[in-house]
Protein backbone atom coordinates (compact mmCIF):
# COMPACT_ATOMS: atom_id res chain seq x y z
CA UNK A 1 0.00 0.00 0.00
CA UNK A 2 1.31 3.43 -0.93
CA UNK A 3 1.54 5.73 2.06
CA UNK A 4 0.31 9.32 1.66
CA UNK A 5 2.96 12.04 1.70
CA UNK A 6 2.38 15.06 3.93
CA UNK A 7 4.03 18.38 3.01
CA UNK A 8 4.98 21.25 5.23
CA UNK A 9 2.71 24.01 3.89
CA UNK A 10 4.72 26.79 5.46
CA UNK A 11 7.96 25.48 3.93
CA UNK A 12 6.38 25.25 0.47
CA UNK A 13 4.92 28.76 0.76
CA UNK A 14 8.33 30.16 1.66
CA UNK A 15 9.80 28.66 -1.52
CA UNK A 16 7.11 30.28 -3.70
CA UNK A 17 7.57 33.59 -1.94
CA UNK A 18 11.21 33.64 -3.11
CA UNK A 19 10.34 32.95 -6.76
CA UNK A 20 9.47 35.78 -9.16
CA UNK A 21 6.04 35.40 -10.84
CA UNK A 22 7.62 35.15 -14.31
CA UNK A 23 9.51 32.07 -13.14
CA UNK A 24 6.34 30.21 -12.34
CA UNK A 25 4.92 30.16 -15.86
CA UNK A 26 6.10 30.59 -19.42
CA UNK A 27 4.96 33.35 -21.68
CA UNK A 28 3.07 32.52 -24.85
CA UNK A 29 6.13 33.65 -26.79
CA UNK A 30 8.35 31.17 -24.95
CA UNK A 31 5.90 28.35 -25.59
CA UNK A 32 5.86 29.20 -29.31
CA UNK A 33 9.65 29.31 -29.36
CA UNK A 34 9.79 25.85 -27.80
CA UNK A 35 7.34 24.59 -30.40
CA UNK A 36 9.64 25.91 -33.14
CA UNK A 37 12.54 23.94 -31.66
CA UNK A 38 10.43 20.79 -31.66
CA UNK A 39 9.02 20.89 -35.20
CA UNK A 40 11.34 22.95 -37.39
CA UNK A 41 14.21 21.61 -39.45
CA UNK A 42 17.75 21.70 -38.00
CA UNK A 43 18.49 24.12 -40.85
CA UNK A 44 15.73 26.56 -39.88
CA UNK A 45 16.37 29.89 -38.16
CA UNK A 46 14.86 29.82 -34.67
CA UNK A 47 13.24 32.92 -33.24
CA UNK A 48 14.86 32.28 -29.86
CA UNK A 49 18.30 32.21 -31.53
CA UNK A 50 18.02 35.50 -33.40
CA UNK A 51 21.16 37.61 -33.59
CA UNK A 52 19.07 40.43 -32.20
CA UNK A 53 18.01 43.94 -33.08
CA UNK A 54 20.01 47.09 -33.65
CA UNK A 55 18.66 48.58 -30.43
CA UNK A 56 17.68 46.71 -27.29
CA UNK A 57 14.00 46.40 -26.46
CA UNK A 58 11.93 44.19 -24.21
CA UNK A 59 10.62 41.11 -25.99
CA UNK A 60 6.93 40.80 -26.71
CA UNK A 61 5.27 38.31 -24.31
CA UNK A 62 3.00 37.04 -27.11
CA UNK A 63 4.96 37.05 -30.37
CA UNK A 64 8.33 35.52 -31.26
CA UNK A 65 10.81 38.00 -32.74
CA UNK A 66 10.21 37.26 -36.43
CA UNK A 67 6.43 37.34 -36.05
CA UNK A 68 6.79 40.70 -34.34
CA UNK A 69 8.86 41.95 -37.29
CA UNK A 70 6.23 40.73 -39.75
CA UNK A 71 3.55 42.69 -37.90
CA UNK A 72 5.64 45.86 -37.82
CA UNK A 73 6.14 45.72 -41.58
CA UNK A 74 2.44 45.16 -42.29
CA UNK A 75 1.50 48.18 -40.16
CA UNK A 76 4.11 50.47 -41.75
CA UNK A 77 3.23 53.36 -44.06
CA UNK A 78 5.78 52.14 -46.61
CA UNK A 79 3.93 48.84 -46.93
CA UNK A 80 0.60 50.57 -47.53
CA UNK A 81 2.10 52.74 -50.27
CA UNK A 82 3.04 49.67 -52.31
CA UNK A 83 -0.57 49.39 -53.48
CA UNK A 84 -0.07 52.48 -55.67
CA UNK A 85 3.38 51.64 -57.05
CA UNK A 86 3.99 50.16 -60.49
CA UNK A 87 4.93 46.52 -60.99
CA UNK A 88 5.23 46.48 -64.81
CA UNK A 89 2.40 48.54 -66.27
CA UNK A 90 2.23 52.22 -65.36
CA UNK A 91 -0.90 53.07 -63.32
CA UNK A 92 -3.06 50.53 -65.17
CA UNK A 93 -6.77 51.29 -65.48
CA UNK A 94 -7.71 47.61 -65.42
CA UNK A 95 -8.65 46.07 -62.08
CA UNK A 96 -6.58 42.89 -62.40
CA UNK A 97 -3.06 44.09 -63.11
CA UNK A 98 -0.42 43.55 -60.45
CA UNK A 99 0.93 46.38 -58.34
CA UNK A 100 4.02 46.32 -56.17
CA UNK A 101 1.78 45.30 -53.26
CA UNK A 102 0.15 42.34 -54.98
CA UNK A 103 3.58 41.25 -56.21
CA UNK A 104 4.76 41.31 -52.60
CA UNK A 105 1.82 39.20 -51.47
CA UNK A 106 2.43 36.63 -54.22
CA UNK A 107 6.10 36.41 -53.24
CA UNK A 108 5.04 35.84 -49.65
CA UNK A 109 2.60 33.07 -50.58
CA UNK A 110 5.12 31.21 -52.72
CA UNK A 111 7.91 31.63 -50.16
CA UNK A 112 5.73 30.40 -47.30
CA UNK A 113 4.68 27.33 -49.28
CA UNK A 114 8.33 26.40 -49.85
CA UNK A 115 9.33 27.22 -46.27
CA UNK A 116 6.53 25.17 -44.75
CA UNK A 117 7.35 22.13 -46.87
CA UNK A 118 11.01 22.38 -45.83
CA UNK A 119 10.06 22.98 -42.18
CA UNK A 120 11.71 26.38 -42.17
CA UNK A 121 10.58 29.38 -40.14
CA UNK A 122 7.43 30.75 -41.80
CA UNK A 123 7.36 33.92 -39.69
CA UNK A 124 10.87 34.87 -40.80
CA UNK A 125 10.10 33.94 -44.40
CA UNK A 126 6.95 36.06 -44.40
CA UNK A 127 8.62 39.05 -42.75
CA UNK A 128 11.37 39.13 -45.38
CA UNK A 129 8.85 38.66 -48.19
CA UNK A 130 6.63 41.51 -47.04
CA UNK A 131 9.57 43.86 -46.52
CA UNK A 132 11.70 43.07 -49.55
CA UNK A 133 10.33 45.83 -51.83
CA UNK A 134 9.56 48.59 -49.30
CA UNK A 135 12.26 50.75 -50.87
CA UNK A 136 10.98 50.45 -54.41
CA UNK A 137 10.44 53.65 -56.36
CA UNK A 138 7.40 54.93 -58.22
CA UNK A 139 7.30 53.83 -61.88
CA UNK A 140 8.93 50.46 -61.21
CA UNK A 141 12.50 49.75 -62.22
CA UNK A 142 12.46 52.77 -64.53
CA UNK A 143 12.25 54.92 -61.41
CA UNK A 144 15.05 52.96 -59.78
CA UNK A 145 17.31 53.39 -62.83
CA UNK A 146 16.58 57.13 -62.92
CA UNK A 147 17.48 57.72 -59.26
CA UNK A 148 20.60 55.61 -59.70
CA UNK A 149 21.70 57.96 -62.48
CA UNK A 150 20.98 61.30 -60.85
CA UNK A 151 21.59 60.80 -57.10
CA UNK A 152 25.19 61.10 -55.84
CA UNK A 153 26.27 57.66 -54.63
CA UNK A 154 23.66 55.89 -56.76
CA UNK A 155 20.49 54.09 -55.79
CA UNK A 156 19.42 50.46 -55.35
CA UNK A 157 15.97 49.43 -54.20
CA UNK A 158 17.27 46.66 -51.92
CA UNK A 159 19.56 49.10 -50.11
CA UNK A 160 16.66 51.53 -49.91
CA UNK A 161 14.36 48.87 -48.46
CA UNK A 162 16.86 48.38 -45.65
CA UNK A 163 17.12 52.16 -45.21
CA UNK A 164 13.33 52.34 -44.91
CA UNK A 165 13.12 49.82 -42.07
CA UNK A 166 16.29 51.05 -40.34
CA UNK A 167 15.79 54.81 -40.56
CA UNK A 168 12.86 56.25 -42.48
CA UNK A 169 9.85 54.56 -40.91
CA UNK A 170 8.27 55.96 -37.74
CA UNK A 171 9.61 59.48 -38.30
CA UNK A 172 13.26 58.50 -38.28
CA UNK A 173 13.11 55.84 -35.57
CA UNK A 174 12.93 52.89 -37.97
CA UNK A 175 11.26 49.57 -37.22
CA UNK A 176 14.21 48.06 -35.30
CA UNK A 177 13.91 44.69 -37.03
CA UNK A 178 16.00 41.62 -36.31
CA UNK A 179 19.28 40.95 -38.10
CA UNK A 180 17.85 37.97 -40.00
CA UNK A 181 14.95 39.96 -41.49
CA UNK A 182 17.20 42.89 -42.40
CA UNK A 183 19.73 40.56 -44.00
CA UNK A 184 17.04 38.83 -46.08
CA UNK A 185 15.59 42.15 -47.26
CA UNK A 186 19.00 43.44 -48.33
CA UNK A 187 20.00 40.30 -50.22
CA UNK A 188 16.78 39.37 -51.99
CA UNK A 189 17.63 41.07 -55.28
CA UNK A 190 19.46 39.46 -58.17
CA UNK A 191 18.71 41.56 -61.26
CA UNK A 192 20.00 39.56 -64.21
CA UNK A 193 22.45 37.71 -61.95
CA UNK A 194 22.48 34.17 -60.61
CA UNK A 195 19.36 33.03 -58.82
CA UNK A 196 21.33 30.91 -56.36
CA UNK A 197 24.98 31.86 -56.23
CA UNK A 198 27.92 30.73 -54.11
CA UNK A 199 28.97 34.22 -53.06
CA UNK A 200 28.09 34.51 -49.34
CA UNK A 201 28.06 38.28 -49.63
CA UNK A 202 25.24 38.10 -52.17
CA UNK A 203 23.13 35.41 -50.49
CA UNK A 204 21.10 35.75 -47.32
CA UNK A 205 22.62 34.06 -44.27
CA UNK A 206 19.41 32.11 -43.59
CA UNK A 207 17.66 29.56 -45.76
CA UNK A 208 14.47 31.56 -45.24
CA UNK A 209 16.09 34.59 -46.85
CA UNK A 210 17.29 32.46 -49.75
CA UNK A 211 13.77 31.07 -50.21
CA UNK A 212 12.44 34.62 -50.60
CA UNK A 213 15.13 35.36 -53.19
CA UNK A 214 13.89 32.40 -55.27
CA UNK A 215 10.20 33.07 -54.61
CA UNK A 216 10.66 36.62 -55.89
CA UNK A 217 11.69 35.48 -59.36
CA UNK A 218 9.08 32.70 -59.46
CA UNK A 219 6.42 35.29 -58.70
CA UNK A 220 7.46 37.99 -61.11
CA UNK A 221 8.29 35.93 -64.19
CA UNK A 222 4.89 34.26 -63.94
CA UNK A 223 2.66 37.19 -63.04
CA UNK A 224 4.47 39.55 -65.44
CA UNK A 225 3.73 37.13 -68.28
CA UNK A 226 0.12 36.97 -67.12
CA UNK A 227 -0.16 40.78 -67.07
CA UNK A 228 1.60 41.14 -70.42
CA UNK A 229 -0.95 38.77 -71.99
CA UNK A 230 -3.78 40.71 -70.35
CA UNK A 231 -2.32 43.96 -71.67
CA UNK A 232 -1.98 42.64 -75.21
CA UNK A 233 1.80 43.05 -75.23
CA UNK A 234 2.28 39.33 -75.91
CA UNK A 235 0.00 36.38 -76.59
CA UNK A 236 0.10 32.91 -75.01
CA UNK A 237 1.53 31.60 -78.29
CA UNK A 238 4.60 33.83 -77.88
CA UNK A 239 5.84 31.94 -74.82
CA UNK A 240 8.72 29.63 -75.85
CA UNK A 241 7.41 26.11 -76.49
CA UNK A 242 10.34 24.53 -74.71
CA UNK A 243 9.42 26.42 -71.52
CA UNK A 244 5.81 25.32 -71.84
CA UNK A 245 6.88 21.69 -72.16
CA UNK A 246 9.21 21.84 -69.17
CA UNK A 247 7.10 24.01 -66.85
CA UNK A 248 3.48 23.77 -67.98
CA UNK A 249 1.05 25.53 -70.29
CA UNK A 250 -0.78 27.62 -67.67
CA UNK A 251 0.18 30.19 -65.06
CA UNK A 252 -0.63 27.92 -62.12
CA UNK A 253 1.08 24.87 -63.62
CA UNK A 254 4.32 26.78 -64.13
CA UNK A 255 4.37 28.04 -60.54
CA UNK A 256 3.52 24.56 -59.25
CA UNK A 257 6.34 22.97 -61.27
CA UNK A 258 8.92 25.47 -60.00
CA UNK A 259 7.84 25.26 -56.36
CA UNK A 260 7.69 21.46 -56.34
CA UNK A 261 11.07 21.20 -58.03
CA UNK A 262 12.78 23.40 -55.44
CA UNK A 263 11.21 21.50 -52.55
CA UNK A 264 12.01 18.03 -53.91
CA UNK A 265 15.56 18.90 -55.01
CA UNK A 266 16.34 20.53 -51.67
CA UNK A 267 14.96 17.58 -49.68
CA UNK A 268 16.85 15.18 -51.93
CA UNK A 269 20.16 16.93 -51.32
CA UNK A 270 19.69 16.86 -47.53
CA UNK A 271 22.56 19.31 -47.08
CA UNK A 272 20.68 22.34 -45.86
CA UNK A 273 21.08 24.22 -49.14
CA UNK A 274 18.42 25.26 -51.61
CA UNK A 275 18.57 23.32 -54.85
CA UNK A 276 16.88 23.57 -58.26
CA UNK A 277 17.13 20.99 -61.01
CA UNK A 278 19.11 22.02 -64.08
CA UNK A 279 16.05 21.54 -66.29
CA UNK A 280 13.82 23.89 -64.28
CA UNK A 281 16.59 26.40 -63.66
CA UNK A 282 17.27 26.57 -67.39
CA UNK A 283 13.57 27.13 -68.09
CA UNK A 284 13.45 29.95 -65.52
CA UNK A 285 16.44 31.60 -67.21
CA UNK A 286 14.76 31.29 -70.60
CA UNK A 287 11.51 32.83 -69.35
CA UNK A 288 13.40 35.69 -67.74
CA UNK A 289 15.22 36.43 -71.00
CA UNK A 290 11.93 36.21 -72.86
CA UNK A 291 10.41 38.80 -70.52
CA UNK A 292 13.30 41.21 -70.91
CA UNK A 293 13.17 41.04 -74.67
CA UNK A 294 9.42 40.99 -75.26
CA UNK A 295 7.95 42.84 -72.26
CA UNK A 296 10.34 44.96 -70.17
CA UNK A 297 12.10 46.41 -73.22
CA UNK A 298 9.01 46.44 -75.43
CA UNK A 299 8.52 49.90 -76.92
CA UNK A 300 4.80 49.91 -76.09
CA UNK A 301 5.65 49.44 -72.40
CA UNK A 302 8.76 51.62 -72.45
CA UNK A 303 7.34 54.76 -74.06
CA UNK A 304 5.41 55.99 -71.04
CA UNK A 305 8.25 55.09 -68.70
CA UNK A 306 10.49 57.51 -70.60
CA UNK A 307 7.96 60.22 -69.75
CA UNK A 308 7.80 59.04 -66.13
CA UNK A 309 11.56 59.27 -65.70
CA UNK A 310 11.38 62.88 -66.87
CA UNK A 311 8.98 63.55 -64.00
CA UNK A 312 11.43 62.14 -61.44
CA UNK A 313 14.38 64.04 -62.89
CA UNK A 314 12.58 67.37 -62.82
CA UNK A 315 11.13 66.80 -59.36
CA UNK A 316 14.57 65.90 -58.03
CA UNK A 317 16.19 69.00 -59.47
CA UNK A 318 13.43 71.32 -58.30
CA UNK A 319 13.52 70.04 -54.71
CA UNK A 320 17.32 70.21 -54.56
CA UNK A 321 17.18 73.79 -55.89
CA UNK A 322 14.44 74.81 -53.41
CA UNK A 323 15.46 73.32 -50.03
CA UNK A 324 13.19 75.62 -47.99
CA UNK A 325 10.16 74.53 -49.96
CA UNK A 326 11.26 70.89 -49.61
CA UNK A 327 11.48 71.21 -45.81
CA UNK A 328 7.97 72.64 -45.77
CA UNK A 329 6.76 69.79 -47.97
CA UNK A 330 8.16 67.08 -45.69
CA UNK A 331 7.20 69.02 -42.52
CA UNK A 332 10.70 69.07 -41.06
CA UNK A 333 12.88 71.87 -39.68
CA UNK A 334 16.21 70.47 -40.81
CA UNK A 335 17.69 67.67 -42.91
CA UNK A 336 18.62 64.34 -41.30
CA UNK A 337 21.15 63.62 -44.09
CA UNK A 338 22.53 65.41 -47.12
CA UNK A 339 19.97 67.40 -49.09
CA UNK A 340 20.39 65.11 -52.10
CA UNK A 341 19.86 61.95 -50.07
CA UNK A 342 16.81 63.38 -48.32
CA UNK A 343 15.26 64.29 -51.68
CA UNK A 344 16.07 60.79 -52.92
CA UNK A 345 14.32 59.24 -49.91
CA UNK A 346 11.29 61.42 -50.54
CA UNK A 347 11.08 60.54 -54.23
CA UNK A 348 11.67 56.82 -53.66
CA UNK A 349 8.84 56.73 -51.15
CA UNK A 350 6.31 58.31 -53.49
CA UNK A 351 3.49 56.43 -55.11
CA UNK A 352 3.01 56.85 -58.84
CA UNK A 353 0.01 59.11 -58.40
CA UNK A 354 1.67 61.29 -55.75
CA UNK A 355 4.58 61.91 -58.13
CA UNK A 356 2.14 62.81 -60.91
CA UNK A 357 0.18 65.16 -58.65
CA UNK A 358 3.26 66.93 -57.28
CA UNK A 359 4.65 67.37 -60.79
CA UNK A 360 1.35 68.83 -61.95
CA UNK A 361 1.32 71.23 -58.99
CA UNK A 362 4.90 72.43 -59.59
CA UNK A 363 5.16 72.51 -63.36
CA UNK A 364 1.73 72.67 -64.99
CA UNK A 365 -0.62 75.66 -65.06
CA UNK A 366 -3.72 75.29 -62.91
CA UNK A 367 -7.12 76.74 -63.84
CA UNK A 368 -8.32 79.81 -61.97
CA UNK A 369 -11.18 78.54 -59.79
CA UNK A 370 -12.71 81.82 -58.57
CA UNK A 371 -16.00 82.36 -60.45
pLDDT tens for residues 334-345? 999 999 999 999
CA angle 242, 112, 105 (to 5 degrees): 80
pLDDT at residue 368 in the model = 83
Map out the domains of the chain with their CATH numbers: 63-300 (1.10.3210.10)
Lowest mean pLDDT among 14-28, 32-46, 348-362: 14-28
Contact 60, 25 (CB under 8 A): no
Whether 263 has a pLDDT exceeding 70, the answer reads yes
pLDDT tens for residues 222-249? 999 999 999 999 999 999 999 999 999 9
Distance, in Å, from the CA atom of 255 to the CA atom of 308, rounded to the nearest integer, reads 32
pLDDT tens for residues 110-161? 999 999 999 999 999 999 999 999 999 999 999 999 999 999 999 999 999 9
Provide long-range contacts, Cβ within 8 A and 24+ apart, for 55-58. 55/176, 57/176
Chain Cα centroid distance, residue 70: 11
Dihedral (Cα; 278, 279, 283, 284), 10-degree rounding: -40
- pTM > 0.85: yes
Residue 270 zone, left/alpha/beta (φ > 0; ψ -120 to 50; rest):
left
pLDDT at residue 23 in the model = 53
* End-to-end Cα, the chain, rounded Å: 103
Amino acid sequence: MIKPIFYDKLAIQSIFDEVEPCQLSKTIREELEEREEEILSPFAALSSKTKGRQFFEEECPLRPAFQHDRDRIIHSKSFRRLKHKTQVFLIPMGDHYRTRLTHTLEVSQIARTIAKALRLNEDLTEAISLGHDLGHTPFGHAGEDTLNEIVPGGFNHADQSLRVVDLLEKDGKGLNLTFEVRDGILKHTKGKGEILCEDPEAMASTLEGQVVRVADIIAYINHDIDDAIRGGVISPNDIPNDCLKRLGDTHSKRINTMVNDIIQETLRSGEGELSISKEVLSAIWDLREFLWEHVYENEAVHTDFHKATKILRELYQYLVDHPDYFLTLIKMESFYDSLERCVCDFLAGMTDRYAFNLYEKLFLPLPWIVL
